Amino acid sequence: MHKINVLVAGSTGYIGVQLIKLLVKHSNVNIKYLCGNSSVGKNISFYDKSLRLKKLPKIIKFNKSLLNKIDLIFTALPNGEAQKISKHLLNKNTLIDLAGDFRLNKASEYLKWYNQKHSAINNIKKSIYSLPEITGEKVKKYNIISCPGCYPTSILLPLIPIIEKNLIKTNNIIIDSKSGYSGAGRNIHNIKKKKNLYESLSAYGVGFHKHNSEIQQELNIYSKKKITFTFTPHLSPMFRGILSTIYVDLNNGTTINSLENTLLRKYFRSRFVKIFKTGSLLSTNDVINTNNCHIAICRTKYKNKVIILSVIDNLIKGGAGQAVQNMNLKFDYNEHKGLK
């Protein structure tokens, strides 16, 4: 069986470790290099004991010469780092980025939302923002693949199909999202050490969270007009999972059944997106440790207003699992391979 040689850069963060745990079970993957900075010389099992029985390389520092020996590099690095690596890619290399470096189509938007200049502007047009259920096999044409953020994944999967069909008003969408603290990375324990992270719920990035940018970009693309929405993220006292609660107004003539049927038709063949019956009260517990997204529409006391619930595991469907899904599409494996 043909195997691709893989390098994981940023292997010790929550996303990086989760990615490795998925890749070791994928029969077409050979993990050739694990890269980090402060972790050089350590075994990855130091960060997750469940990996101690796996034959994995020790963590080394990334250098561009490693690209000669690999087919695919996953980057789970701080924003800006994948841009640097992208400038050294060989024709044989594919880069799948789990950070924000190639999520935006304009360098000016990247500067605005990430507060740093894009250092690989020429590679933006060579990349694709790939939400697998939406972009599908288009990913095969690109060697730089950008995985959506965790919040946008939970938001775009329910909204894109109904916005494409012009079923809802697009001038006042309200999005309230709650995530487990793993979504903020390992440093969250230092940043929030004076707050009771494990017993409190806190809003952050109010009005200006960087994920606004990709949500805006993608909704505008699929609606063919500018969408107006308000997005507020929260950290919840749980390790993993996202629940997005989306408040929308129906266009004249739109019913809950038409919303639900649109989503059912869109995701009829999807292995990972499940549409539940109207009024289902979804929980993050139902999707933890899976690459699934569960969606349900709920009625409100107002006939023309509905609430859409969407739940994912931020580390898998919102991160490592989606990256593996994109890899499978790119290399022509079964889309669900390595993803239970």
Cα–Cα distances in Å, from 264 out to 28, 195, 260, 267, 278? 32, 42, 6, 5, 12
Name the CA dihedral angle for 179, 215, 107, 10, rounded to a multiple of 10 degrees: 30
Mean pLDDT score, 215-244: 95
CA distance 238 to 198: 7
131-142: pLDDT as tens digits: 999 999 999 999
What's the whole-model pTM score? 0.95
Cα–Cα distances in Å, from 263 out to 257, 274, 293, 316? 10, 9, 12, 22
State which fold the 4-147+318-330 domain adopts: Rossmann fold (3.40.50)
At how many degrees (to 10) do helices 14-23 and 321-330 cross?
A: 50
Q: pLDDT at position 211, please? A: 96
Nearest to 212 by CA among 103, 116, 291, 314: 103
Q: pLDDT at position 53, please? A: 81
User: Over 70: is that where the pLDDT of 194 sits?
Assistant: no
CA distance 175 to 244: 7
27-73: pLDDT as tens digits: 999 999 999 988 898 999 999 999 988 899 999 999 999 999 999 99
Does 298 participate in catalysis according to the annotation? Answer: no
CATH 3.40.640.10 corresponds to the domain 151-314 = no
Average pLDDT, the chain: 94
Report the DSSP beta bridge partners of residue 225. Answer: none
Q: pLDDT at position 190, please? A: 57
Are domains 4-147+318-330 and 151-314 of this chain identical in fold? no
What is the gyration radius of the CA atoms in the chain, in angstroms? Answer: 20
Name the active-site residue from 35, 147, 150, 293.
Answer: 150
User: Over 70: is that where the pLDDT of 1 sits?
Assistant: no
Q: What are the structural domain ranges in the chain?
A: 4-147+318-330, 151-314
Q: pLDDT at position 186, please? A: 66
Nearest to 272 by CA among 331, 330, 325: 325
User: Over 80: is that where the pLDDT of 196 sits?
Assistant: no
Helix (H, G, I), strand (E, B) or coil at 252: coil
